[in-house]
C-alpha cells in the first residue's frame, strides 16, 4: 500500500516546477538535503524514479509527468479542505452578534452584556451598532443573532422575533 505524505507531494510539485533543488529549498523554507531526502523517500514509496539527476540539472521522468497534475490536484484539495475546516471552526457558535441602536448605551445594556459575558467567558460577543433599517437588514440576512430595536408606527418588521425584556440576557 502506497501512502504519499502531503509534504512530500508539495516538495515534489515545487521541484517539478522549478527543476532546481536550491530554488525548491528556498521556496519551501527548508534546506536542500531535506528536499533531496523527501524526493528520494517519495521515489522509494512509489518504486519509481521521478527525476533524472545530471550535472547541475534535473529533468522530470515520464512517471513524474504523470504524477505532477495529480499531485497538484491533491494539494489543492488538501488546501481547500483545510481552509473549509478553518472557516467552519471560526464560524462555530462560540460567538453571538448583537445589533443595537446607538442610544442603547445610555441604558443598562452595557451592564447586562458585561454580566452575561462574565457568566459565559468562552463566548465572544460582537456588537454591531446602527440605525433600525441597518440592523433589521443585517438580522434578515442572518448576520445578527439578535437585535435590540425600537419600533415606530408604520414600520413593518416581517418575520422578526421581538424580545421585549432585556433580562433574557442575564
- Going by C-alpha positions, the residue among 29, 49, 26, 54 that lies closest to residue 39 is 49
This prediction has a pTM of 0.55
DSSP 106: G
Measured between alpha carbons, how far is 32 from 25 in angstroms, rounded to an integer?
5
d(CA 91, CA 89): 5
Q: What is the pLDDT of residues 5-61, one digit of tens each?
A: 889 999 999 999 999 999 999 999 999 999 999 999 999 999 999 999 998 899 999
Contact 24, 18 (CB under 8 A): yes
Q: Which residue ranges form the domains of the chain, and what is each CATH number?
A: 6-90 (1.10.10.10), 95-169 (3.40.190.10)
Amino acid at each position: 500500500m502506497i501512502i504519499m505524505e502531503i509534504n512530500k507531494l508539495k516538495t515534489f510539485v515545487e521541484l517539478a516546477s522549478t527543476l532546481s533543488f536550491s530554488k525548491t529549498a528556498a521556496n519551501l523554507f527548508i534546506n536542500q538535503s531535506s528536499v533531496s531526502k523527501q524526493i528520494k523517500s517519495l521515489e522509494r514509496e512509489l518504486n519509481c524514479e521521478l527525476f533524472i539527476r545530471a550535472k547541475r540539472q534535473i529533468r522530470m521522468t515520464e512517471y513524474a509527468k504523470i504524477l505532477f497534475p495529480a499531485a497538484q490536484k491533491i494539494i489543492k484539495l488538501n488546501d481547500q479542505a483545510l481552509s473549509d475546516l478553518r472557516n467552519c471552526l471560526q464560524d462555530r457558535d462560540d460567538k453571538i452578534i448583537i445589533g443595537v441602536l446607538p442610544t442603547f448605551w445610555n441604558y443598562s445594556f452595557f451592564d447586562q452584556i458585561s454580566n452575561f459575558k462574565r457568566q459565559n467567558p468562552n463566548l465572544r460577543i460582537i456588537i454591531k451598532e446602527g440605525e433600525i433599517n441597518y440592523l433589521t437588514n443585517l438580522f434578515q440576512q442572518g448576520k445578527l443573532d439578535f437585535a435590540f430595536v425600537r419600533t415606530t408606527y408604520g414600520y413593518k418588521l416581517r418575520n422578526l422575533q421581538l424580545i421585549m425584556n432585556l433580562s433574557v440576557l442575564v
